[in-house]
Structure 1
Amino acid sequence: MESWVDGQPADALSLKDRGLAYGDGLFETIAVRGGQPVLLERHLCRLADGCSRLAITADHSLIHREVLAYAAALGEGVLKLILTRGDSLRGYAPDPAAQPHRILQGNPPAAYPAVHGQQGIRLFPCATRLSEQPLLAGLKHLNRLEQVLARSEWQDAEYAEGLMLDLHGRVIEGVFSNLFLVRDGELLTADLSRCGVAGVMRAELLFQARQLGIATHITDISLDQLQQADEIFVCNSVYGVWPVRAYAALSWPVGPLTRKLQGIARALLDA
């Protein structure tokens, strides 16, 4: 499907755009089912938080309308929304008069092997570490070179995802997913106040777990805690939940809480 720039079909962007020059912007990757964007309110809430923290002035009502219109035209697939600060001349200082650019791109549905969800995946131990920057932590900003470096570390199809640690060796997330541990019936996921991306499926699963009366903990996670976990799974807003069956010499069964939350995620994506 043809891309839109600022609400109009387009296949080009200004060379002065700060998203290209500096990664000065944000993005959301949204599953589309039956012409409807899945978890849209969570995506737009995260985008609005990112705009507030980066001081990007955007018309969020307009973005909402454009996403709905584009998703309806796409029908089925994956919609990528990119919001940049807009154009400026050379130099880091943003132009106060710059108008943000809204870019919408449509792609076919993601074609991940069904076995990932059925039997679980093996995580690659990424050497690339996530640097700490609390001002950007949690945001889905356009500066994703750490993930590019991490994903380039493996080509073996045996690994569907990689595990990323921070500079102090804390477990943070997958290259394109968030990670959860299950221990004694409770759910743990990493504190993302220093680095990492606060995924919308992560937020939804935390909410759903609390609704079910499952204790949840957002906390620092060590590799030792990974070893002690009863279940491990990763999630994102496109594929839902994948159980993790192995990482390095460690292995886990696909457990009941993983299956329960996987079913909830699947229902959201298949609705």
Structure 2
Amino acid sequence: MVATPRYFVGRDRVDSLPDHDRGLAYGDGLFETMRAVHGSVPWWPAHWQRLQRGAQALRLSLPAEAQVREEAERMLEGGDGVLKLIVTRGAGGRGYPAPEESVPNWILSRHPLPPATPSAGLALRWCETRLALQPALAGIKHCNRLEQVLARSEWADPDIHEGLVLSAEGDVVSATAANVFVLRDGRWTTPLVDRCGIAGVCRAWAVDALQACEARLAVTDVEAADAVFLCNAVRGILPVARLGSRTWRPHPQVMELQHRLAAAHPAFVTEVS
């Protein structure tokens, strides 16, 4: 089910975004994409905390959490799906300087669930588009995603499910729309996101569940790994079966993690056997 988006200025619902929205003009805003089940978002607190971190980094105001959550649950109508929240700084004239005082514009939209993960696992490729280093924006889910758009446009082959992206310096950062974890010598590692990339909500859960370390990873670290998986808060734990010519068999630790996630988040119960 795709619901008609709902638009708000501060506390007031409106028919459409006001003119001169800074999110549209400059990407001056944040967003969260959340998995919903039975009309609620189990990881709502983690999503809102990340939104708050982003708002602090961008120095923009957020709407009242209670109102956003109430409107979100009303939109979900007790069902399952994907909920997207966009918050922008609000309206402003032409030019980069932000208004001294602004009222946030925000949008809620509901979307269908993503397709099921292939039973054999994901097939990946390396992307040529690289992510610029910008520590001031690292980790937050800001509205400018042009690098990811360019990376995702590099292939149209339906047999390729995702692409891995590197930083401008050549270290592995993530997939275009997911974080990545690799198993080497019995230890799980995920790339640092202190210079670029997104600190995913599911990534945080997996780091804690696996006691994973965060470190710079080279291309060879991924290709030589004993197991690889991707994760995000909408699709959960996604085993990787192939990266270019490198292949992996299903790994028991990844399957175990899928079951642990299903126990922690009811939306993913149906995605494990």
CA-to-aligned-CA distance 1:3-24 (integer Å, 9 cap, x gap): 2222666552123100000000
Flag the 1:93–1:78 CA change in 2: closer, same or farther, 3 A. Answer: same
Deviation, 1:126, is 0.7
Flag the 1:67–1:188 CA change in 2: closer, same or farther, 3 A. Answer: farther
1:150/1:162 contact within 8 Å kept = yes
2:244 aligned with 1:248:
yes
Question: Residue 150 of structure 2 aligns to a residue in which SS?
Answer: helix
Amino acid at match of 2:239: P
1:86/1:101 contact within 8 Å kept = yes
Residue 91 of structure 1 is matched in structure 2 by 95
Residue 209 of structure 1 is matched in structure 2 by 210
Flag the 1:139–1:55 CA change in 2: closer, same or farther, 3 A. Answer: same
Residue 226 of structure 2 is matched in structure 1 by 230
Deviation, 1:60, is 4.2
Identity %: 38
Residue 24 of structure 2 is matched in structure 1 by 20
Flag the 1:260–1:63 CA change in 2: closer, same or farther, 3 A. Answer: farther
Matched residues in 2 for 1:77 and 1:88: separation?
A: 33
Amino acid at match of 1:203: A
1:170/1:222 contact within 8 Å kept = yes
Matched residues in 2 for 1:158 and 1:202: separation?
A: 25
Deviation, 1:144, is 0.1
Deviation, 1:149, is 0.4
Q: Gaps (5+ residues) in structure 2?
A: none
Deviation, 1:98, is 1.4
Matched residues in 1 for 2:207 and 2:234: separation?
A: 17
Residue 264 of structure 1 is matched in structure 2 by 260
Residue 194 of structure 1 is matched in structure 2 by 195
Question: Residue 139 of structure 1 aligns to a residue in which SS?
Answer: coil
Amino acid at match of 2:79: G
Amino acid at match of 1:228: A
Deviation, 1:260, is 1.2
1:3/1:10 contact within 8 Å kept = no
After TM superposition, list the pairs within 5 Å mapping 1:27-38 onto structure 2: 27-38=31-42
1:2/1:11 contact within 8 Å kept = no
- Which one of the candidate residues 60, 71, 93 is aligned to 1:56? 60
Matched residues in 1 for 2:179 and 2:233: separation?
A: 10
2:99 aligned with 1:103:
no
CA-to-aligned-CA distance 1:137-171 (integer Å, 9 cap, x gap): 01100000000001111010111111101111111
Residue 82 of structure 2 is matched in structure 1 by 78
Flag the 1:74–1:100 CA change in 2: closer, same or farther, 3 A. Answer: farther
Residue 159 of structure 1 is matched in structure 2 by 160
Amino acid at match of 1:154: W
Matched residues in 1 for 2:80 and 2:258: separation?
A: 21
Q: Gaps (5+ residues) in structure 1?
A: 211-215
Question: Residue 86 of structure 2 aligns to a residue in which SS?
Answer: strand
Residue 180 of structure 2 is matched in structure 1 by 179
2:61/2:102 contact within 8 Å kept = no
Matched residues in 2 for 1:263 and 1:10: separation?
A: 42
1:44/1:64 contact within 8 Å kept = no
Number of positions where the alignment pairs a residue of Structure 1 with one of Structure 2: 263
CA-to-aligned-CA distance 1:101-126 (integer Å, 9 cap, x gap): 1211111222x1442xx211111211
Residue 5 of structure 1 is matched in structure 2 by 7
CA-to-aligned-CA distance 1:156-212 (integer Å, 9 cap, x gap): 0111111101111111100000000011221100010000011100001112223xx
TM-score, with structure 1 as normaliser: 0.91
2:40/2:78 contact within 8 Å kept = no
**Higher mean C-alpha displacement, 35-44 vs 171-180:** 35-44
1:48/1:60 contact within 8 Å kept = no
2:137/2:196 contact within 8 Å kept = yes
Residue 213 of structure 1 is matched in structure 2 by none
TM-score, with structure 2 as normaliser: 0.91
Question: Residue 97 of structure 2 aligns to a residue in which SS?
Answer: coil
Flag the 1:169–1:67 CA change in 2: closer, same or farther, 3 A. Answer: farther
